[in-house]
Structure 1
Amino acid sequence: MAVRPQAELIGALSVESDLVSFAVFSTTTGQEVATSSKRLPMLTTGSSSSSSSSDCRQPAAAWQPGWVEQEPAKVWAAVNEVVANVSNEMCRSGLPVTYIKALGVTNEPGTVLAWNADTGGVLCNAVHRTDARAADGPDAAVEWLTRHSEPVKRAGHKCRFGTWDTWTLWMLTSGQVYTTDVTNASQTRLMALPGPEWDESVCRDRNICVASLPPIRAPSPSTLYAVVTVGELIGLSVYSVMSRPNAVLCGHGCDSAGQASVTMDERGVTVMCVTGRSPVTSSALTAVVACVTADHKANSAMLYALQATSQVNMAVASLVSNLALFKSTAECMNVYCTAGPSTPAYMATEEGVSSAPYGRADAGGIMCGITGDTSKEHLARAAVDSMCFTVADAFNASQSDSRKSVHTAFMDGSYSEYDDVLQQQADVCGIRVIKNHRRDMAVYGVAVAAGLAVNIKFGNHRCDPDVYDPKSSAEQRAQWQKQWGKCVQRSYGWNRIGGRLTDDFS
């Protein structure tokens, strides 16, 4: 009887506050041989469990508007569930989990957790990256917990902070591994660039004890992070850890200045512009570590990027949820793709302009260019186009700060499934846009990195990408940008800051 050759498989675990997934890839075909995911509800103002399950507020305080949390126990239960589902699926296919040669972990950046080092018990719910307490960054969330959470204060020197990557490694190893990687550390705004050390002066200003933060693993493309000691994956090794935006860069193969990745979906828009091997200071964007690379001499080096994370997608969400003009996001997107030429209208939302690259906390929602013929189709176009213009503005801000222009944008996310959106992005930016056919580019990217860490390369099986070159003229782009800029500027000054209105309207 013929002996079946042992397959070389790579596993990738993605941990987010509202979605946990596990996938196993064949390095021969590059395709998933098994996958499972589980979606989780978030705890927000008015949710059924927000009033009773959260420990991270002061005992006498009521749940505050703008708080967004998740219960870590539910996320860990979801991790075990999806891993078990994949293990069972593999066994049915004759592929035991021992065929997995390496594991990668990718995670939603910026969400903060706290737990007790001795007991391993969580001290509070996870404070989500969109929580009002994290409006100024994850470092602000850590500071808030340090100053206001009674369980955190009682834990004292036994308190440990971390993002989902740190907590996942802790749980996978029964508390034996407490560490983070450079991509996640740089996202917290507590790491001193070029890194990889925590910035003691920033921590001191934030009243954060450096000893309560995880050690940052030295940059290396072949680091062994942990050996799993619990569950279905016991005995397997984690060789790659990175935040999802960074894993997306890795999946697209972005490794040089001038390349950018854009993830555009219902959760938000994330732009990562690679700037080179030295960090760039920016007032509009966040400087982060893009990835760790190796040269021909096997030396490791960090590649840096400028990042913008925007909630400009709320323009579409508002048309669907608040105004009920469309039954679903898919209907809105389909209307966008089928609407004919019309008089341009521009829409800037409070959520979009208050986030990068604009950073205007006083911004309010605004719609420009309305005529007697304006219809909901025009609103759909204005809402979706606002995402494309925001991406273009992020590219321009990156070029202004780094002196390096973006020449290629790799797009993923649910909105990238629409050809008209991709073509519009190319037309607005005046650059080539590329879409690779991967269901989750972050999961694929961290799997590729885990394979490379153990000298296993995925075969030459990249799906043929879709390429969109700009069809617009320079004059058209300049006119669009001028009109969009006026719309953004007119959104300033509608919200009170410090109890009073600003007067930036022009």
Structure 2
Amino acid sequence: MDTHSPDFHRPPSGDLLIGLDQGTTGSTALLIDRDLNVLARATVEFPQHFPQPGWVEHEHDDIWVSVRSALKQVLEGVDPTRLAALGITNQRETTFVWDADSGIALGRAVVWQDRRTSQACAELKIHEEDVRARTGLPIDPYFSATKIAWLRRQHGTRRLAFGTADTHLARRLCGASLTDLSNASRTLLLDLRQGIWCEHLTQRFDVAGIERPLIVPSSGVCGRIRGVPELPDGLPLAGIAGDQQAALFGQGCFDAGQAKISYGTGSFILLNTGPFIASSRHGLLSTVAWQLGGETQYALEGGAFVAGALVSWLRDGLGIIERASEVEALARSVPDSGGVTIVPAHAGLGAPHWRPDARGVIHGLTRGTTRAHIARAALEGIAHSQCDILEAMAADHGAALTDLRVDGGAAANDLLMQIQSDFCGLNLQRPRMLETTALGAAMLAGLGVGLWSGLDELRRSYPLDRRFEPAQDPAAVAQARQRWKEIVARA
């Protein structure tokens, strides 16, 4: 495809945008207008495969079928001439390989959750200081490099090409093998400072000679749709970003010092560090946020393994609620947790502690403890976990955070959001649209085709729902934080 032709970069004729979020368990399509109003949304799930303990795989075609089905649902009855562009966001480290000569998919994709390369990573740990200095990442099965090496061994002498989920979609949508800089930064193969594939690292991880996707900016026309029945031929593919980076963008965190928390099963916090790479001394990841107009923004990232999953455990494990939505009212029925503290280390402790051997703790039970106290302690435990990461971020960033934006399912819980604001001492902004990943992809695409004049126009369009401000006595918060840290040490 000739990306230098005038037709390739023609201005948009439409006013609607599609955001496509290819996630771990399903694919979501979102249709918005230039005022960020959501006009339609559809999610289609696809099967997960667990061939051995610790292995997680996806079929290439299952993902594509789910994407097409979601697109068909949101575009039913829509005039295709109104479409201006499409943006995609995706599960980040999941790894796909193809035969480089025929383009045929080989085997299943190895999912980011997969742990089959744990031993290989342990053997490579002697190189971690060098790898972290180049990539901003530790050596871990989470990232793509050791997955690629494992897949290479399965396919013998074939000439291979690899990509992440955005590459898989781009190949199907417009026939181009490409990835954006934010996704490339999650492979352990990108030189973070230069923004290029690192030949030293391809040798280190034994993936030299495997074809890599072309790295493109996160916003800008990088392809045009062809041969997809649900979409008009010629529609620009104009935005790509990894899911957490897309959520950061969808939250309008365009400036250094702005951060967001996405509350899902676990949680992800990203802090925009601007044009500077903040090397973490406190167990966080340095990563690309996005690349716009030739300028690269970076971020610090930290994740907690258990967030919304703690509420699910109250429902499924303890049986103290019947539905997750009941937890807020139950927790509100008491003024405090009655001295109970819950450390949600049910799957170990993530950032900044990185203790996979840790286990959950319920501390401070008395004869007077009720299920309401446990519910409130659960919400406080979720909030404390985020504060640990936020404190590490502030220390690495070298400056106080300016604001904090929240999204994801648990962000709908007003009590949790107020507790979070109290504990971290920051104003929280919650948008009307809590699923900001697809929104961010659509926004990147809209910028990429000139639907908005720039970031200032998007700042004015931020769809704020509610603001939460610290209301608890700072001395009481400091005491609660100290008690939390003492109990975490026992986990």
TM-score, structure 1 normalization: 0.83
> In the alignment, which residue of structure 1 is the partner of 2:97?
114
RCO (CA 8 Å, sep 6+): is it higher in 1 or 2? 2
Q: Does the alignment pair 1:308 with 2:309?
A: no
1:327 aligns with 2:325: no
User: Is this contact kept in 1: 2:58–2:109, CA < 8 A?
Assistant: yes
Tell whether 2:25 aligns with 1:18.
Answer: yes
Partner of 1:235: 234
Q: Which runs of 5+ in 1 are unaligned?
A: 1-5, 45-49, 51-62, 91-95, 295-299, 492-506
Question: 1:353 deviation in Å?
Answer: 4.3
CA contact (8 A) 1:20 1:37 kept: yes
Structure 2 counterpart of 1:32, one-letter code: V
**1:356 is matched with which residue: 348, 351, 359?**
351
| Contact 1:238/1:450 (<8 A) preserved | yes
Q: How many Å separate the matches in 1 of 2:181 and 2:312?
A: 33
Question: Pick from 28, 44, 51: which aligns with 1:38?
Answer: 44
Query: Per the alignment, do residues 386 and 244 of structure 1 end up closer, same or farther by CA in structure 2, a change over 3 Å counting?
Result: same
Code of the aligned partner of 2:172? M
1:124-145 CA-to-partner distances (Å, cap 9, x unmatched) read 3222222223775466554245
Q: Secondary structure at the match of 1:224?
A: strand
What SS does structure 1 have at the residue aligned with 2:158? helix
The yes-or-no answer on 1:477 pairing with 2:477 is yes
Task: Describe the superposition over 1:390-425 as per-residue Cα deviations: whole angstroms up to 9, x where unpaired.
Answer: 211111111111202213100011111111111111
Residues 118 and 381 (structure 1 numbering): CA distance in 2 closer, same or farther, change over 3 Å?
Answer: farther
Which among 276, 279, 300 is matched to residue 277 of structure 2? 279
1:131-160 deviations in whole A, cap 9, x for unaligned?
22377546655424523675x433632x22
Change in 2 beyond 3 A, CA 1:139/1:321 = closer
In structure 2, how many angstroms separate the alpha carbons of the residues matched to 1:139 and 1:34?
33
SS of alignment partner, residue 318 of structure 1:
helix
> Partner of 1:472: helix, strand, or coil?
coil
Q: Residue in 1 aligned with 2:169?
A: 168
CA distance in 1, matches of 2:38, 2:347: 35
Q: Per the alignment, do residues 371 and 122 of structure 1 end up closer, same or farther by CA in structure 2, a change over 3 Å counting?
A: farther
Q: Distance in 2 between matches of 1:10 and 1:38?
A: 19
Letter in 2 for 1:73: D
Q: Percent identity, aligned pairs only?
A: 26
Which blocks of at least 5 consecutive residues in structure 2 are unaligned? 1-12, 119-138
Would the aligned equivalents of 1:69 and 1:126 in 2 still touch at CA under 8 Å?
Answer: yes
Distance (Å, rounded) in 2 between the aligned partners of 1:327 and 1:448:
38
Aligned to 2:488: 488
Residue in structure 1 matched with residue 372 of structure 2 by the alignment? 377
Is the partner of 1:101 in helix, strand or coil? strand
Counterparts of 1:8 and 1:211 in 2: how far apart (Å)? 40
Measure the CA separation in 2 of the matches of 1:114 and 1:334. 48
Question: Per the alignment, in what secondary structure is the counterpart of residue 230 of structure 2?
Answer: helix
TM-score (norm 2): 0.85
Structure 2: distance between partners of 1:385 and 1:130: 27
C-alpha distance in structure 2 between counterparts of 1:23 and 1:148, whole Å: 33
Kindly state the Cα deviation for residue 333 of structure 1 after the two structures are TM-superposed.
4.1
User: Does the 8 Å contact 2:28/2:67 carry over to 1?
Assistant: yes
Q: Secondary structure at the match of 2:476?
A: helix
SS in 2 for 1:38: strand
Map 1:69-148; keep pairs closer than 5 Å: 69-90=57-78, 96-133=79-116, 137=140, 142-144=145-147, 146-147=149-150
Whole-angstrom CA distance in 2 between matches of 1:464 and 1:17 = 28
Residue 188 (structure 2) aligns with: 189
User: Distance in 2 between the 1:12 and 1:345 partners?
Assistant: 42
Distance 2:48 2:312 in 1: 17
Deviates more, 1:162-171 or 1:355-364: 355-364
The match for 2:10 is none
